[in-house]
A and B are shown apart, each in its own frame.
Chain A
Amino acid sequence: MEHIVYLDNNATTMVAPEVFEAMLPYFSERYGNPSSLHSFGGNVARDIEQARARVAHLIGAHPEEIVFTGCGTESDSTAIRSALDQLPDKRHIITSAVEHPAILGLCGYLQKRGYQVTYLQIDEIGQIDLDELRETITDNTAIVSIMHANNESGIVFPLHEIAEIVKEKGCLFHTDAVQSTGKLPLDMSQTPVDFLSMSGHKLHAPKGIGGLFVRRGTPYTPLLIGGHQESDKRAGTENVTAMIGFGKAAELAAADLPREGFKLQAMRDRLQDGLLTRCKDVLVNGAASPRLPNTLSVSFGYVEGESIVLLLDEQGICVSTGSACSSGSLDISHVVKCLGVPSTHAHGTIRFSLSRYTTDDEIDYALEHMERIIDRLRALSPFGRE
């Protein structure tokens, strides 16, 4: 395969070589079942506990507060459905309008089942109104679920403040931290979160492994019920190799935090500045808010996102678009819509997301081709001429 310039790390990431290495023995010689009584299986159980401790360390939690799940979506569903199951009299959920489909899809489903859902809107800089959040919480609210960082725009919500407001009101709080885990410092010993969702494949572990932080003492109902795995919090034979991989990936991320963030941010800013210099009619989304250091969402005027993505694809450059033409829907994404990107630019929204493996050369290569591609599509477009 030709060289791929992978700038779509919010979609998924490369498995780190160290992670791959760490997982290998569990595909072959260390195949024991961690639930077995014999030491061949028991040793695997011990290795899983080491992985759990590494994930816990990354977010400042206790190991017994980490439940391994199948993916970020499962973590989200587990947290919210657990809260609803534990608090059957409370029929109200609060979330934001810009959550990942893992949350929005579930909330839509729950609305059909008679739950009331409040979707907090974002303002012109992409933030929710904290006073509105405080006022919206009632005695009927079972759980508040607000993401930490947005997958499309990279905008970061003030997790600590949000958590404090929700806990002040005595309500359960969940955050989808799938995009921020390993990229931003998280400390569960300081931030009063009840549930926090993570996903391995966003931080160089393989797909098929997620994590859910459940604070000690939080009332909890498992989503999967059966055997005693995961201390009765998630039944089903463990995905041992992926757990080991997630543990290793968490260890690598923790070792580099926050230094890696500065490096990524410098690279991201160079990409952003380069695009603004080389192309006309470009808007940077979320620039007035704190953003993930690796994420850049830009909207190009008078051109359409799918065309940009496919022309970049021809050059081996991978990015994604928030103009959902290529994602099944015909409309722009809900996040681009909520951000209020003007209609001249909304359909030309592109997300670049970097990783620790992104190089300066790759940024230069992407800049060079972006300029050419935007020029080419603008020459084709009936709009945007003086």
Chain B
Amino acid sequence: MWDYNDKVKEHFLNPRNIGELPDANAIGHTGSLRCGDAMTLYMKVETIDSEERITDASFQTFGCASAIATASMLTEMIKGKTLAEAETLTNQDIVDALGGLPAPKIHCSVMGAEALEAAIANYRGEEPPGHDDEDRIICACFEVSEKTIRDAVWESNLTTVEQVTNHTKAGGACGQCKPDIARIIGEVLEEKAQALCDIEPESERDRKIGRLIAEVIAPQLTGHGGGLQLVAIDGDRVVVRLKGACQMCSNNQGTINDFVQQKLRDEIDEKITVEVGG
């Protein structure tokens, strides 16, 4: 059955928690018939010991096998969690719980995360997140906005148009918006590089160092709960500050030498040395 693993198949063939939840007090909807997939998430949130907890959840999905499996898995994951815990769930967490999804189906997990966000907003009486007035539709076929694409590029460390299509479906039909998507990726990566640098780049080489850290190095470290900030560039000396789990890690010097410094040497200049400071 296509490229799905056994866990995805199992959730597709035997979905958990289906249908409306009669006493739901948090409902989130995302997607549309025209786009080919849509999901409604129902949650019952109760305050127990002064904590808001999701005591029950169910879903309705219109979509392919992975859209159904994703929704089923999501309801299993959030049941019993506090709202605060549920809020930290990302689409990647759903993908991981399913043991992986084929790349063109990643957008199904994004739909799950969006439905969860919308349901939480609904519970709190807030507007569902998504299109604000100034947000521009980039992909007309699937009604994907600039903000959605920006957020996906930023949060999921995307660097190619294909990855954006897999995540958001944008560009997956007529493809006319692909140049726009490429432009947005460029802008976000530039912003990201700036956010990860304490310094203004003075040369094209500085800029390249910043981009490499933002696009390749930092995402690898954030994937393990760590992080890295560029503090200064002085000739071939690159000074960085470690963040998150990397600060406490006993092997962080190994990470600096074997990964950060090696990557910069391979990609930019063999003479570069990396040290921790700031």
Residues of A within 8 A of B (CB): 302-307, 310-311, 313-314, 323, 325-326, 328-332, 343-344, 347, 379-383
21 A-B residue pairs with CB within 8 Å:
A302-B33, A304-B37, A306-B2, A307-B12, A307-B64, A310-B1, A310-B65, A329-B173, A330-B104, A330-B142, A330-B165, A330-B173, A331-B36, A331-B141, A331-B172, A343-B33, A343-B34, A347-B62, A380-B19, A380-B62, A381-B60
Decide: A326 and B2 in contact? CB cutoff 8 A.
yes
Decide: B172 and A381 in contact? CB cutoff 8 A.
no
Decide: A382 and B104 in contact? CB cutoff 8 A.
no
Residues on B with C-beta less than 8 A from A381 are 60-62
Partner of A325, one of B15, B64, B174: B64
Given contacts A307-B68, A330-B173, A331-B173, contact A380 B34 (CB under 8 A): no
Nearest chain B CB to A64's CB is how many angstroms away?
44
Residues on A with C-beta less than 8 A from B33 are 302, 343-344, 347, 383
How far apart sit A328 and B34, CA to CA, in the bound complex (Å)?
Answer: 18
B211 proximal to A (CB < 8 A): no
Residue of B nearest to A382 (CB): B60
How far apart sit A382 and B60, CA to CA, in the bound complex (Å)?
Answer: 5
How far apart sit A305 and B173, CA to CA, in the bound complex (Å)?
Answer: 17
For chain B, residues 29 to 49, give those with C-beta under 8 angstroms from any C-beta of chain A: 29, 33-34, 36-40
Partner of A380, one of B29, B36, B61: B61
Residues on B with C-beta less than 8 A from A304 are 36-37, 62-64, 67
Residue of A nearest to B63 (CB): A304
Decide: A310 and B2 in contact? CB cutoff 8 A.
yes
Residues of B within 8 A of A (CB): 1-2, 12-13, 15, 18-19, 29, 33-34, 36-40, 60-65, 67-68, 104, 107, 141-142, 165, 169, 172-174
Partner of B19, one of A303, A313, A325, A379: A379
Residues on A with C-beta less than 8 A from B63 are 304, 307
Residue of B nearest to A303 (CB): B62
Partner of B61, one of A306, A329, A343, A382: A382
Residues on A with C-beta less than 8 A from B39 are 382
Decide: B165 and A380 in contact? CB cutoff 8 A.
no
Residues on A with C-beta less than 8 A from B141 are 331
Decide: A326 and B64 in contact? CB cutoff 8 A.
yes
Decide: B60 and A380 in contact? CB cutoff 8 A.
yes
Given contacts A310-B2, A328-B104, A331-B141, contact A382 B15 (CB under 8 A): no
Residues on A with C-beta less than 8 A from B62 are 302-304, 347, 380-383
Looking at A305, A306, A314, the one whose CB has the most chain B CB atoms below 10 A away is A306
How far apart sit A303 and B62, CA to CA, in the bound complex (Å)?
Answer: 6
How far apart sit A347 and B104, CA to CA, in the bound complex (Å)?
Answer: 17
How far apart sit A196 and B161, CA to CA, in the bound complex (Å)?
Answer: 40
**Given known contacts A306-B64, A310-B2, A331-B174, what 8 new A-B pairs fall within 8 Å (CB)?**
A330-B107, A330-B173, A331-B172, A380-B18, A380-B60, A380-B62, A382-B39, A382-B61
Q: What are the 8 closest A-B residue pairs judged by CB atoms, nearest first? A: A330-B172, A331-B173, A382-B60, A306-B64, A343-B34, A382-B40, A381-B62, A347-B36
Partner of B68, one of A326, A331, A347, A380: A380
Residue of A nearest to B13 (CB): A314
Decide: B60 and A323 in contact? CB cutoff 8 A.
no
Residue of B nearest to A325 (CB): B64
How far apart sit A331 and B172, CA to CA, in the bound complex (Å)?
Answer: 7
Residue of A nearest to B31 (CB): A382
Residue of B nearest to A314 (CB): B13
Residues on A with C-beta less than 8 A from B15 are 380
Decide: B173 and A382 in contact? CB cutoff 8 A.
no
Nearest chain B CB to A336's CB is how many angstroms away?
11
Residue of A nearest to B65 (CB): A310
Residues on B with C-beta less than 8 A from A307 are 12, 63-65, 68
Nearest chain A CB to B71's CB is how many angstroms away?
9
Residues on B with C-beta less than 8 A from A306 are 2, 64-65
Residues on A with C-beta less than 8 A from B2 are 306, 310, 326
Decide: A325 and B36 in contact? CB cutoff 8 A.
yes
Nearest chain A CB to B83's CB is how many angstroms away?
23
Residues on A with C-beta less than 8 A from B169 are 330
Residues on B with C-beta less than 8 A from A330 are 36, 104, 107, 142, 165, 169, 172-173
Residues on B with C-beta less than 8 A from A329 are 172-173
Residues on A with C-beta less than 8 A from B60 are 380-382
Nearest chain B CB to A136's CB is how many angstroms away?
23
Residues on B with C-beta less than 8 A from A323 are 36
Nearest chain A CB to B155's CB is how many angstroms away?
21
Residues on B with C-beta less than 8 A from A379 are 18-19
Nearest chain A CB to B98's CB is how many angstroms away?
15
How far apart sit A313 and B37, CA to CA, in the bound complex (Å)?
Answer: 21
How far apart sit A305 and B61, CA to CA, in the bound complex (Å)?
Answer: 13
Residue of A nearest to B32 (CB): A343
How far apart sit A277 and B18, CA to CA, in the bound complex (Å)?
Answer: 27
